[in-house]
């Protein structure tokens, strides 16, 4: 009788089962992504004149580093089996709140406001997911609209622009010929890689994401760890808000929204599995570079901005499918 049951369930799951056993090793996956970057680079170099110029390549890196800052926090959340849909709206609100102070010549106060508000949002997300036990996508989706509404109300449809040159260096400046945000990306990448690979805390996130019940039974304080992950995600949104403000030299209530889909796509292309427990911040850095190249290529090829959501949507779905094929469908937990 149990054989019948197994067979019936297996037959139903057959289309998924076929993919499930194709497991690629970590290094092969990273090499594949570097190859993808090279392939896109070759295509763009052959089809446009401007792509290979130093200025443009640095521009791609600058765009990638902004997406990476947002995506790195999201990576940790997804590795731990959660999700954060509010990152882009969090960036918008903290940038809008900080803009007035920065414009009036107090960049440190502005930075404190941006980081304070973004971390507060992270704490609220963390409480909603751990204490109230809301599904992460639902809690952070409601939070997305709350933050977006607050930002729109605060700005009243206007924008705040024109920041001091010293602050703008954070987004547009160069150090030894390399854009400042790229250094930030390097620091965050190094810190997050060390954190996830070499600390117990980091390893525990993978355990929580792979099997929450097992993590709890083995004594990991799951609630506290998850709360902290959402706080980190909020903090990264605040840092990204400051870099974004400094780069575009203006704040408005629609600034973050176009980033949400590319950032999620970057995380998934980077090999982080939506089913939790698998992924790396290094992969996300490569994913952000791939997305930045695609968007840059569309600009260079004179493809209208209207195509961008369509292309990013297709890339996002392709990334989800690749997650499924490369890793096999993992059991969903929690």
Partner 1 sequence: MQAGTLAVVRRPRPLPAIVPIGLTVVVLAILGVHGFASARNVTNLGLQGAILLMLSMPMTLVIMSEGLDLSAGAVLSLCSVAMALALAGGHGLSAALALSIAVGAAFGLGNGMLISLLGLPPFVVTLGTLGIAQGIALVLTDGNAVSGLGPAVSALYSRSLLGVPYPVLAALATWWLTHVLLYGTRFGNYVYAIGGNRDALVLAGARAWAWHVAVYVYMGCVVGFAALLLTGRMNAAHPTVAIGMEFDAIAAVVLGGTSFERGDGRLFGTAIGVATIAVLRNALDLLGVESSLQVVSIGVLIMVVIVIDSLRKARKSA
> Which residues in this chain contact partner 1 in the complex, by CB under 8 A?
5, 8-9, 12, 15-16, 83, 85, 128, 132-135, 137-138, 141-143, 145-146, 148-150, 152-153, 253, 260-261, 264, 268, 274-275, 304, 306-314, 316-317, 320-321, 324, 329, 332
Q: How far is the CB of 131 from partner 1 (least distance, A)?
A: 9
Q: Rounded to the nearest 10 degrees, how much is the dihedral formed by the CA atoms of 166, 169, 174, 176?
A: 40
Judged by beta carbon, residue 215 or residue 268, the one nearer partner 1 is 268
CB of 324 to partner 1, least distance (A): 6
Measured between alpha carbons, how far is 182 from 57 in angstroms, rounded to an integer?
12
In whole angstroms, give the CA distance from residue 313 to residue 42.
23
Both tokens assigned to 57: 């390549």
| Nearest to partner 1 of 101, 146 (CB atom) | 146
Cα 77 from chain centroid? 9
Least separation in angstroms between residue 189's CB and partner 1 is 24
Contact 127, 229 (CB under 8 A): no
Give the relative orientation of helices 87-103 and 222-248 as an angle to the nearest 10 degrees: 50
Minimal distance, residue 312 CB to partner 1, in Å: 5
Distance from C-alpha of 182 to C-alpha of 176, rounded to nearest angstrom:
12
Minimum Å gap between C-beta 333 and partner 1 is 12
Helix-then-strand count for the chain, H and E: 15, 4
HEC-encoded secondary structure of 190-256: HHHHHHHHHCHHHHHHHHHHHCHHHHHHCCCCHHHHHHHHHHHHHHHHHHHHHHHHHHHCEECCCCC
Report the alpha-carbon distance of residue 63 to residue 312 in Å, rounded: 15
Instruction: Please state, in angstroms and rounded to a whole number, the distance separating the CA atoms of residues 167 and 98.
Output: 12
CB of 123 to partner 1, least distance (A): 14
State which residue, 143 or 241, has the beta carbon closest to partner 1: 143
Nearer to partner 1 by Cβ, of 12 and 213: the residue is 12
Rank residues 11 and 46 by Cβ distance to partner 1 and give the closer one: 11
Shortest distance, position 119 Cβ to partner 1, whole Å: 19
Q: By C-beta, is 147 or 170 nearer to partner 1? A: 147
Task: Please say which residue, 10 or 187, places its beta carbon nearer to partner 1.
Answer: 10
């Amino acid at each position: 009788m149990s054989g019948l049951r197994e067979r019936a369930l297996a037959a139903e799951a057959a289309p998924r089962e076929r993919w499930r056993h194709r497991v690629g090793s970590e290094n092969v996956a990273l090499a594949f992504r570097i190859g993808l970057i090279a392939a896109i680079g070759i295509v763009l170099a052959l089809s446009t004149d401007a792509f290979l110029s130093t200025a443009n390549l640095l521009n791609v890196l600058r765009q990638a580093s902004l997406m990476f800052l947002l995506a790195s926090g999201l990576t940790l959340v997804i590795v731990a089996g959660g999700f954060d849909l509010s990152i882009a709206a969090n960036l918008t609100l903290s940038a809008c709140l900080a803009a007035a102070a920065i414009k009036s010549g107090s960049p440190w106060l502005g930075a404190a406001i941006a980081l304070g508000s973004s971390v507060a949002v992270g704490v609220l997300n963390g409480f909603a997911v751990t204490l109230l036990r809301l599904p992460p996508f639902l809690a952070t989706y409601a939070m997305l609209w709350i933050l977006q509404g607050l930002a729109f109300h605060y700005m009243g449809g206007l924008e705040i622009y024109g920041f001091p040159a010293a602050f703008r260096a954070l987004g547009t400046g160069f150090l030894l010929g390399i854009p400042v945000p790229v250094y930030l990306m390097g620091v965050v990448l190094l810190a997050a890689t060390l954190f996830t690979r070499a600390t117990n805390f980091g390893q525990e996130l993978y355990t929580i994401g792979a099997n929450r019940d097992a993590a709890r039974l083995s004594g990991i304080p799951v609630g506290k760890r998850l709360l902290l992950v959402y706080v980190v995600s909020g903090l990264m949104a605040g840092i990204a808000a400051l870099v974004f403000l400094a780069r575009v030299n203006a704040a408005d209530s629609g600034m973050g929204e176009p980033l949400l889909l590319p950032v999620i796509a970057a995380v998934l292309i980077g090999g982080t599995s939506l089913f939790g427990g698998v992924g790396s911040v290094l992969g996300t850095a490569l994913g952000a570079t791939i997305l930045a190249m695609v968007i840059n290529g569309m600009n260079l090829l004179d493809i209208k901005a209207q195509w961008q959501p369509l292309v990013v949507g297709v890339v996002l779905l392709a990334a989800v499918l690749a997650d499924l094929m490369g890793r096999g469908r993992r059991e969903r937990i929690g």
